[in-house]
Structure 1
Amino acid sequence: MSSASTPVAIRNSLVVEGVSAQAPRGLDVVAEAAPRLTWRTVTDVPDWTQQSAELELTTSSGTSTASVSGSDSVLVEWPFTPLAPRDDVVLRVRVTGSDGSTSQWSRPLRIRAGFLAEGEWVATPVGLAHPATGAQPGLARTVFEVSGDVASAVLYATALGVYQASVNGTDVDDQVLKPGWTPYQWRLVHETTDVTGLLVPGANVLGIRFAGGWATERYGFRGQAAPFYTEQPSVAGQLVITYTDGTREVVATDSGWRAVPGPVTASGIYAGDDHDQQLERSGWDRPGYDDGDWPAVTVREALVTPTARNSPVVRRIEEVAVREVITTPSGRTVLDFGQNLVGRLRLTVDGPAGTVITLRHAEVLEHDELGTRPLRQAKATDTLTLAGAGPVTWEPEFTFHGFRYAEVDGWPGTFDPTAVTAQVIHSDMERTGWFASSHDLVDRLHENVVWGLRGNFLYVPTDCPQRDERLGWTGDIQVFAPTASFLYDVHSFLSSWLTDLELEQRHAAGIVPFVVPSVLAGRVRPAAAWGDAATVVPTVLHERFGDERVLADQLASMRAWTDVIVGRSGERHLWEGQFQFADWLDPSAPPERPAEAKTHPDIVATAYVFRSADLTARAATLLGEAAVAETYAAIAERVRQAFLAEYVTPAGRLVSDAQTGYALAIMFDLAPAEQQQALGDRLAELVRSGGYTIGTGFVGTPIVADALTRTGHLETATRLLTQTACPSWLYPVTMGATTIWERWDSMLADGTINPGEMTSFNHYALGAVADWLHRVVAGLAPATPGYGVIRIAPQPLTGFDFAEARHLTPYGPASVRWDRDGDQIRVVAEVPPNSSAEVSLPDGQELTVRSGRHTWTSTVAVADTGRPAVSVDMTLAELVDDPEAFAATIGAIAEIDPATADDLRRHTAWLPGRQVKELFERVPQDARDRVVGAFGALNASRAG
């Protein structure tokens, strides 16, 4: 067909790798000389496949083109001469399909090379000469002359701390908390910002506001907190001005700069900001200001030469209004924003000079008062002292908080809730994944997962955003990476973090620290499922984004970690008898001892030795490293055989008879195919005997539903998903949660916060089940790396009328939706151009399709919803398999003795060899009578 008869549209399709998306908008700043390129094609033509592509690059010296043969459109190697520092170029693409049609050129993409040449960084770190307090914030400035016509002006800046720069009184961008957090002693990043439009002829001022941020924070637990990097913040930057005549001038931080303390009198990530407007210096960062009383800066030691940012920046992403103003029993004013979020408050206020407004933050209320105990040593408090000069709009600059509620004290006059909004901040990543279903609680669970990701992806993938921690715990992201990779484009975010992981690992003899950046005092030691982030996260990035280079970049790290844990396994090939977090926060663990899980730690540890060895072998195979692949495959097989010999009986029982062990053996393919079914059957028995409540912690929870599904127990997985009793995924939803909790019972049913010393209400790890919702319930997954081939395999759940998932793949939008109408399941799917799909329909039909919109209908027998008569002679297994009868039993007992009812629900083994009347031995007579009465009413309703 001709291009005229078959138009191919490309809309905003060109994407360049490593973009930090810095101001001004429309200028993509890249961190490397030869970034890879991805483009997405949008067309109504079905079965469309790219035959070739043409790329056009326009530079100051002219235009050149390059051709790509075949269907490659994802992470295509840069086909032009590598960029030089400060190159400003424009790139376009057009494609030709296998039908002969050719598209129009894409919208031009402007690219700025954000890196510096070797030896080009000359800026010196500077700070306050005579700080009066630890981690004292400050202001730094210099005056410089612009002596000619400016072609371009680029600011390269960083801090050992956090900063914002301004030119002539205007902030250079809209980012916050720059440059973020990396292992500062090994790696520091700089921003690259075009400030050409901010310069004026003659005198100009470059100003920098700065504070300590993560660099001066105190890290550690139980009274052991101490500074790790430095006691005082410093800043460094250089402004490179290029004139139209080709001459170049550099304005860099050095001993000639001046600095003073500013209006931010104290600042900390955990503590918050204290800002005194009476100390503000009007016009300090503009020309004409007299800085004669400002002392010269002190020059500080440079830890490392900074490199260009290659990960997303952090911005204000959303603004949330006050939902409700609450007056607590103690008379305090508390604002409810209706959503647990991460950011800070912005307020507009007017009042007398010296008025101090105090803002305290917390995630929950406890008995109608602000629940601050989970914050531990974090003050999470901001203060604003007014200057009395009229209405002002203010928000803290150098901190962030995790909160839904904020207590306001000292507000002058009548409080107006419209004067305060919550500014949501996180790394500015593209949203790429969505899920919806007919089950409202499950949908809210999924939304909670999204908000948990948003709050904890702030430069570093953290465990929690509110208490005196907020660390890059490796175990959390190891289990959550698949979910994150569906919901957002986390490719560059996690790739950058893996660089930090490898740097920390390199300085720890191959051991991956518990947290990255590694700031916890004490000996670094390995922990299964935590350190395995070194092998799992690169694998996920390859699987979800089609990035083979990330495997190449991380293979040495993968090998180093695997070598460490293989060494710990010794001649028995079992990692046993050593420290482990194991199945952390198994719900049966006491609040004060979260590692005491039902699954033995040696089983968890050895399973992960196999997992990492296996993933390392697979990565080496993909990279063509045959000898390396053979070595690690042999290691994996030895560990697998040792695991089976030590922990699995021939009949398919684990010596540690708990859910996580079975899930690991199934999902890691530790057990041979002939044992998989027996393992799955036993796992389903354990879930049922536990009353279809959660019996897993951080390790087992992300995979238990998959393990059940893989072995034919989808109904059991459905009951587990839709359970609302504690512990379950939906119990927090019924308690009003708007993010994922750290503990299954972070809030007890009576409104009391869990008594454990460690409790968070925004922890994404247990929300990793969302990946199962995407892949299995909705049925959308990659069949090959990067979704070049998509897997469409929905598995409709009993009680659900529909489910759908959408994902922006590297090739374009893909979606799957199924709807139930009696015994008919209608599946509608969208496959993006230049890709294909393997389809498995609910009726067992298998087929392969190309791009376009597809609809299929399957006939699936509807499960018999009829329920038999119930009696006290039925077995406990039959009772728990009958949700109505189970609820009636527990509810009837609770009417008389709530504590006993809860104890029975939590601690009874619902087994097929026991009868309901055996429960009567533990309840009062009138409770027994109520159960019998409830059964009679239920039988009558069922008889119709």
Structure 2
Amino acid sequence: MTTDPLDGARFLGSDADREAAARFWVERELDRPRAEITGAVLRATAHGVYEARIDGTPVSDSVLDPGWTSYEWRLAYQEHDVRELVAGGDGPLRLDLVLGNGWYRGDLGFADARANYGEEIAVAAVLDLTYRDGSTQRVATGDDWSAETTEVPRNSLYDGQTIDARLRGRPSPLTVHEVDVDRSTLVAPVGPPVRRQETLRPVEIWPAPGGGTLVDFGQNLVGWLRCTVQGPAGTEIEIRHAEVLEHGELGTRPLRGAAARDLFVLSGGVDTFEPTLTFHGFRYALVTGWPGELTTDSLEAVVVHSEMARTGTFACSDPDVNQLVHNSVWGQKGNFLSVPTDCPQRDERLGWTGDIAAYAASAAFQFDSADFLHDWLADLRVETEHSADRGVPLVVPDVLKYERWPEDFSLPPWAATAIWGDAAVWVPQALWTAYGDAGRLAEHYPAMKMHLESVEPYISPTGLWDLGNQLGDWLDPDAPPEDPGAGKADPSVVATACLVRTARFAAEAAAVAGETADAERWARLAVRTRAAFNEHYVENGVVRSDCTTVYALAIAFDVLDDADRAVAGDRLAELVRAAGYTVTTGFAGTPFITWALSETGHVDDAYALLLEKSCPSWLYPVTMGATTVWERWDSMLPDGSINPGEMTSFNHYALGAVADWIYQVVGGLRPAAPGYDRVRVEPVPGPGIDWAETAYETRHGRVSVAWRRDDDGFTLEVALPDGLPAEIVLPDGRVEEVVGGTHHLTAA
């Protein structure tokens, strides 16, 4: 193969309507009988999303190929072994490619940004055949291909898809032309494909007060509805999607500009519909126009996300905590669709760096996220390289650079933003901890360096990161709904604490990558920043702005001197108790506050904070029936109305980052070396939970931890893969060193 994986294939476009999906096709006589085919490989990609079929059969069970990458520099192609598919047919071979808008021409963004990579979508493919006698044949997109209309006159990720069954088998010809695409951007896929994962049937169906029929699938999910139906030709079935109900009707206001509307037009015969060129975030659907009675057998929800193996599990004696973990898992499913998104339902669905910076550790425990996040970090690196020294973009891929917002709206310019920019370091740190891949860590290091070098101009002579703009403790529950960035924590205190953590791990990564001078450089920066923080922001253990987030960060990131750390821990616990154990942190503090409490001896307070049910708290959404983590602590108010803020999502994993603490502290399963080359088993029981069971599929094998306490004392069961060393710390302080095997231990 040449360096061009699609050598010989041209990128093809057509004069199809902008909203419509076109089909490109060719029929080709084969050089030899199909029975003599010993190898057949199809490689394809698109600016847009494509579906490939050979002789009418899909070549793969993946959907929304080629996925979303930073298309300007990284366009993934897919490679499929199609030998059985090709060899099993007879006669001329037909290759079809259906092309939709996808992310490339998706009118992406919020506030009517309508950001696109270009106004013309295109597809290319090459099919290489090998025969028994060693001869080969290539079928590639070119000027001998035809194009035609399909049964999809409308497709949009945000707005949904129309499928008109009357148009099936009745195409109109389209004009084909070649599209100029930079072929140097072609890369082999690293991230896993997007696939259908499971299906859910409705749990309840009832008439909507305003007309139509409401359907509840019992779980907030991401995907689409699939159905088989028969009715009079021309009958239109409209399906609208939303995550919640409000006052008995579909709660669509949080979708903002996303229509999330599918339309199926019946042919008069038996029709099957599945809108695979879009996706929706929903639990509820409003169906209108359905012929006859709508039953639980009429529809099924197809759950779609990137392929990821489940690696971590947790259960405990508190069913609400189990539901919280369930919500975190489903939040990851819904938002790990090609890129780690903020939300999957409204006119956004962007790869916000701050969200995954907060959540990466939890994500890497729940699912094997190694390839998925490694692929995204490759986009982060190239976006940062081309960001004109502004540092890590707020979203990756950074489609917002193509925004066309109205004149009355704009975002403040971003540059060197704490937490969001720190994703360049914190996400690789989570992957290094979970998987211990030194080669990949070295690949991530250049983006860490670019991030820190973008920060340096905003460090004042005091040594503090107190220059430039910050998002601070985003979505502090005390911030007004219309101003989610107006948190209690001083943004410069947040940024400077984050810089200590970031510089410290960048030094470690540089050392692993063999960049000795850089390792020393960032180690010095960490020491200098820590000293500046203590000099300017700490007085007798009290941290400037004296709120839970600043204490959580200063403790969790080991910024404070020992004496001040103890005082700060006590003050944090005092603030938590004063708030009645309701949550008072936003994006910055939430992942770390329970850690800061338990690591300073305030275990009971950490448990009380976790188990609180009044609003705002982690369990308040559970009491309100949530099946995923919410964007706001009060995305739905106690009276059942939706938060009036413009930003209100019911599937946002960032605030679910407490799951990492649950797995490691409540569950007691902790990595003691990168890649779990060594394990630390240290459950820390607290009031309200009497038993917990945790398991994780490490690269060495499965580790499980189960503990229980009752009137007879504390018992612990540990199972380790052969040869894996572990340090077991019991609640009474006793430490056992073991290697592999199963272990039963007790304590008073």
Aligned residue identity for 1:312: P
1:108-159 per-position Cα deviation (integer Å, ceiling 9, x unaligned):
xxxxxxxx6457633211111x23x324311110111212221101000011
Aligned residue identity for 1:229: Y
State whether residues 109 and 350 of structure 2, in contact with CA within 8 Å, keep that contact through their aligned partners in structure 1: no
User: Quick check: 1:339 aligned with 2:219?
Assistant: yes
- In the alignment, the residues of structure 2 paired with residue 858 and residue 121 of structure 1 have an alpha-carbon distance, to the nearest angstrom, of 67
User: Quick check: 1:540 aligned with 2:427?
Assistant: no
- In the alignment, the residues of structure 2 paired with residue 628 and residue 308 of structure 1 have an alpha-carbon distance, to the nearest angstrom, of 30
User: TM-score by structure 1 length?
Assistant: 0.76
Aligned residue identity for 2:41: V
Q: 1:798 to 1:524 in 2, by over 3 A?
A: closer
Q: Which residue of 2 aligns with 1:142?
A: 26
- In the alignment, the residues of structure 1 paired with residue 65 and residue 260 of structure 2 have an alpha-carbon distance, to the nearest angstrom, of 20
Q: Which residue of 1 aligns with 2:552?
A: 663
1:189-211 per-position Cα deviation (integer Å, ceiling 9, x unaligned):
11100111222454111001110
**CA offset at residue 363 of structure 1?**
0.1
Q: Which residue of 1 aligns with 2:693?
A: 804
Q: Which residue of 2 aligns with 1:721?
A: 610
Q: Which residue of 2 aligns with 1:518?
A: 398
- In the alignment, the residues of structure 1 paired with residue 676 and residue 723 of structure 2 have an alpha-carbon distance, to the nearest angstrom, of 10
Q: Which residue of 2 aligns with 1:396?
A: 275
Equivalent positions of 1:760-771 (< 5 A) are 760-771=649-660
Q: Which residue of 1 aligns with 2:314?
A: 435
Q: 1:507 to 1:524 in 2, by over 3 A?
A: farther
Q: Which residue of 2 aligns with 1:887?
A: none
State whether residues 654 and 661 of structure 1, in contact with CA within 8 Å, keep that contact through their aligned partners in structure 2: yes
1:307 aligns with one of 187, 192, 196 = 187
- In the alignment, the residues of structure 1 paired with residue 629 and residue 708 of structure 2 have an alpha-carbon distance, to the nearest angstrom, of 28
Aligned residue identity for 2:273: W
- In the alignment, the residues of structure 1 paired with residue 384 and residue 330 of structure 2 have an alpha-carbon distance, to the nearest angstrom, of 30
- In the alignment, the residues of structure 2 paired with residue 519 and residue 829 of structure 1 have an alpha-carbon distance, to the nearest angstrom, of 47
Q: Which residue of 2 aligns with 1:173?
A: 60
2:668 aligns with one of 765, 773, 779 = 779
Equivalent positions of 1:174-323 (< 5 A) are 174-199=61-86, 200-223=89-112, 225-281=113-169, 294-305=173-184, 306-323=186-203
Q: Which residue of 1 aligns with 2:725?
A: 836
User: Quick check: 1:325 aligned with 2:205?
Assistant: yes
Q: Which residue of 1 aligns with 2:406?
A: none
State whether residues 191 and 308 of structure 1, in contact with CA within 8 Å, keep that contact through their aligned partners in structure 2: yes
SS of match in other structure, 1:572: coil
Q: Which residue of 2 aligns with 1:72?
A: none
**CA offset at residue 395 of structure 1?**
1.1
Q: Which residue of 2 aligns with 1:125?
A: 11
Q: Which residue of 2 aligns with 1:485?
A: 364
2:524 aligns with one of 626, 634, 637 = 634
SS of match in other structure, 1:705: helix
Which segments of 5 or more consecutive residues in structure 1 lack a partner in the other structure?
Answer: 1-84, 86-115, 285-292, 860-944
State whether residues 460 and 466 of structure 2, in contact with CA within 8 Å, keep that contact through their aligned partners in structure 1: no
Aligned residue identity for 2:100: A
SS of match in other structure, 1:453: helix
Identity %: 48
Equivalent positions of 1:5-44 (< 5 A) are none
- In the alignment, the residues of structure 2 paired with residue 384 and residue 120 of structure 1 have an alpha-carbon distance, to the nearest angstrom, of 35
Q: Which residue of 2 aligns with 1:154?
A: 41
- In the alignment, the residues of structure 2 paired with residue 238 and residue 296 of structure 1 have an alpha-carbon distance, to the nearest angstrom, of 21
- The root-mean-square deviation of aligned C-alpha atoms, in Å, is 1.4
SS of match in other structure, 1:592: coil
Q: Which residue of 1 aligns with 2:407?
A: none
- In the alignment, the residues of structure 2 paired with residue 633 and residue 755 of structure 1 have an alpha-carbon distance, to the nearest angstrom, of 45
Aligned residue identity for 1:585: L
- In the alignment, the residues of structure 2 paired with residue 392 and residue 135 of structure 1 have an alpha-carbon distance, to the nearest angstrom, of 22
Aligned residue identity for 1:179: P
State whether residues 193 and 307 of structure 2, in contact with CA within 8 Å, keep that contact through their aligned partners in structure 1: yes
State whether residues 256 and 296 of structure 1, in contact with CA within 8 Å, keep that contact through their aligned partners in structure 2: no
Q: Which residue of 1 aligns with 2:323?
A: 444
Q: 1:410 to 1:597 in 2, by over 3 A?
A: same
SS of match in other structure, 1:855: strand
- In the alignment, the residues of structure 1 paired with residue 104 and residue 610 of structure 2 have an alpha-carbon distance, to the nearest angstrom, of 41
**CA offset at residue 295 of structure 1?**
4.2
State whether residues 145 and 201 of structure 1, in contact with CA within 8 Å, keep that contact through their aligned partners in structure 2: no
- In the alignment, the residues of structure 1 paired with residue 736 and residue 483 of structure 2 have an alpha-carbon distance, to the nearest angstrom, of 50
Q: Which residue of 1 aligns with 2:257?
A: 377
1:401-443 per-position Cα deviation (integer Å, ceiling 9, x unaligned):
0000000000112223311000001011100000000001111
1:51-74 per-position Cα deviation (integer Å, ceiling 9, x unaligned):
xxxxxxxxxxxxxxxxxxxxxxxx
Equivalent positions of 1:457-536 (< 5 A) are 457-510=336-389, 511-520=391-400, 521=403, 523-536=413-426
Equivalent positions of 1:869-888 (< 5 A) are none
Aligned residue identity for 1:308: A
Aligned residue identity for 1:366: E
SS of match in other structure, 2:461: helix
State whether residues 156 and 277 of structure 2, in contact with CA within 8 Å, keep that contact through their aligned partners in structure 1: yes
State whether residues 255 and 296 of structure 1, in contact with CA within 8 Å, keep that contact through their aligned partners in structure 2: no
1:93-120 per-position Cα deviation (integer Å, ceiling 9, x unaligned):
xxxxxxxxxxxxxxxxxxxxxxx64576
Q: 1:530 to 1:383 in 2, by over 3 A?
A: same
- In the alignment, the residues of structure 1 paired with residue 84 and residue 265 of structure 2 have an alpha-carbon distance, to the nearest angstrom, of 34
State whether residues 185 and 304 of structure 1, in contact with CA within 8 Å, keep that contact through their aligned partners in structure 2: no
State whether residues 541 and 563 of structure 2, in contact with CA within 8 Å, keep that contact through their aligned partners in structure 1: no
**CA offset at residue 533 of structure 1?**
0.5
SS of match in other structure, 1:512: coil
Equivalent positions of 1:848-867 (< 5 A) are 848-859=737-748
User: Quick check: 1:673 aligned with 2:553?
Assistant: no
**CA offset at residue 823 of structure 1?**
5.2
1:596 aligns with one of 480, 486, 492 = 486
State whether residues 163 and 273 of structure 2, in contact with CA within 8 Å, keep that contact through their aligned partners in structure 1: no
- In the alignment, the residues of structure 1 paired with residue 240 and residue 478 of structure 2 have an alpha-carbon distance, to the nearest angstrom, of 33
SS of match in other structure, 1:232: coil
SS of match in other structure, 1:418: coil
Aligned residue identity for 1:144: R
Q: Which residue of 2 aligns with 1:17?
A: none
- In the alignment, the residues of structure 1 paired with residue 450 and residue 468 of structure 2 have an alpha-carbon distance, to the nearest angstrom, of 19
**CA offset at residue 256 of structure 1?**
1.9
State whether residues 341 and 404 of structure 1, in contact with CA within 8 Å, keep that contact through their aligned partners in structure 2: yes
User: TM-score by structure 2 length?
Assistant: 0.96
Q: Which residue of 2 aligns with 1:358?
A: 238
- In the alignment, the residues of structure 2 paired with residue 185 and residue 785 of structure 1 have an alpha-carbon distance, to the nearest angstrom, of 34
Aligned residue identity for 1:253: T
**CA offset at residue 509 of structure 1?**
3.4
2:333 aligns with one of 448, 454, 459 = 454
Q: Which has the higher contact order (CA 8 A, sep 6+)?
A: 2
**CA offset at residue 631 of structure 1?**
0.9
SS of match in other structure, 2:161: strand
- In the alignment, the residues of structure 2 paired with residue 624 and residue 235 of structure 1 have an alpha-carbon distance, to the nearest angstrom, of 41
1:510-553 per-position Cα deviation (integer Å, ceiling 9, x unaligned):
51100000011375523210011001111111111011112110
| More moved, 411-420 vs 695-704 | 411-420
SS of match in other structure, 1:571: coil
Which segments of 5 or more consecutive residues in structure 2 lack a partner in the other structure?
Answer: 404-410
Q: Which residue of 1 aligns with 2:408?
A: none
**CA offset at residue 658 of structure 1?**
0.5
SS of match in other structure, 2:120: coil
| More moved, 501-510 vs 153-162 | 501-510
State whether residues 367 and 752 of structure 1, in contact with CA within 8 Å, keep that contact through their aligned partners in structure 2: yes
2:299 aligns with one of 415, 420, 440 = 420
- Rg larger in structure: 1
